[in-house]
Homo-oligomer: A and B are copies of this chain.
Amino acid sequence: MNQLQVKDTINAHQKLIEHRLTLFFDEKLNKCSNISPLAKELVDSLKEFSLRGGKRIRPILAIFGYKAIKEQNEAVLQAALAVELMESFLLIHDDILDQDDFRRGYYSMHKVYELKAKKLYPDSDAAHFGRSMAIMAGDLLASFGSECITRSDFPAELKIKAIDKFNRVIINTAFGEVMDIVSELKPEVSELDIIRVNELKTAIYTIEGPLHIGAILAGASRQQLDILTKYAIPLGQAYQIHDDILGMFGNEKKLGKPVGSDLREGKKTILILKALQLAKQPQVKSIMAALGNKSITREQIDEIRNIVLESGALDYCQNLVRQLSEQAKTHIRHSGFRPEGKSFLLAIADYMTQRDK
């Protein structure tokens, strides 16, 4: 499968998933309209948030985790929504943690409700109201996600295993988040810590979890799940490092977020850590001054970009992405997976580590 074909496959599946997401939320809206108009309003916000955009990489991986073992059926499309809703849930909570006001080209959930409160209840603590609604919105979506598995058309034994994995992904992501929050406050963070956070927050959450949930529902063996893990963990690391590079050197318009946000937030990425290791003393000082500087200027960001480039940190990270991605693909090549699943997993590894947005 070449990169054009993988993009087509992704596009086709995105449409499928968005169609099913719409149906899912419409059914929820229907059911909760008798609870209270507020419940309906909240579910409406969740529908808008979930359909507003997103790469749908996780449900696509769940579907292809299934296809690696078994021929696709209707039920897996429904169950795959679980990981998409999980993503929305975690993004909503993550945006509160990161105090991000924008997501997918519009306001983040807490900001949506903060603005509503400002309009409807001008005397209220609008920021607090926004956060409160977003915390509940996330909690709701987590359960909606779990429901997509419990109510899917698979044998109960497989669904229990899939739910168990669903829970493990949330647990690992929450641990990753906690490490992430604290690492922004600590002056020193080790490379091992960053790799650990990337494993928990990206590799398991974005790749291994969805693949496993799909494969489990297809009745995958322990050995087959292990192969998917050996593919997912290095690919997840590569995907995250590529993401860090895009965050510093990518195209703002394509990314939909300003370049250098990681710097502004004080996020210590492998790219930055490598630059700190390789750069000279005055340049190290510049990086340290930029990290977590909320009012960083465009010029300062450009300066850091030059340091990252000239120190060799960019080269180092680009090489690492290639190596990790190759390592991931080797396990798929040697697997006995179905050809349809195999070729897609090989192709999407390139797609995920070469994308420009």
Contact = CB atoms under 8 A, between A and B. Distances in A.
A71 interface: no
Interface stretch (A123-131, A219-227, A251-259, A320-328): A123-131
B167 A143 contact: yes
Interface stretch (A171-179, A206-214, A273-281): A171-179
Chain A interface residue bracket vs B? 35 or more
Contact of A139 (B32, B163, B168, B174): B174
B136 A38 contact: no
A261 to B, nearest CB: 17
For this chain, the copies found in one complex come to 2
Nearest to A142: B142
Interface stretch (A4-12, A92-100, A242-250, A306-314): A92-100
B96 A38 contact: no
Contacts of A200: 35
A144 interface: yes
A247 to B, nearest CB: 21
A132 B96 contact: yes
Interface in A111-136: 117, 120-121, 124, 128-129, 131-133, 135-136
A156 interface: yes
Contacts of A1: none
Contact of A157 (B42, B97, B156): B156
A97 B164 CA distance: 29
Interface stretch (A145-153, A228-236, A329-337): A145-153
A178 B139 contact: no
Given A136-B174, A156-B159, A128 B99 contact: yes
23 contacts: A35-B172, A36-B175, A36-B179, A36-B196, A38-B182, A39-B178, A96-B131, A135-B138, A136-B174, A136-B177, A136-B181, A137-B174, A139-B142, A140-B171, A140-B175, A143-B167, A143-B174, A144-B167, A146-B146, A146-B167, A150-B163, A156-B157, A163-B163
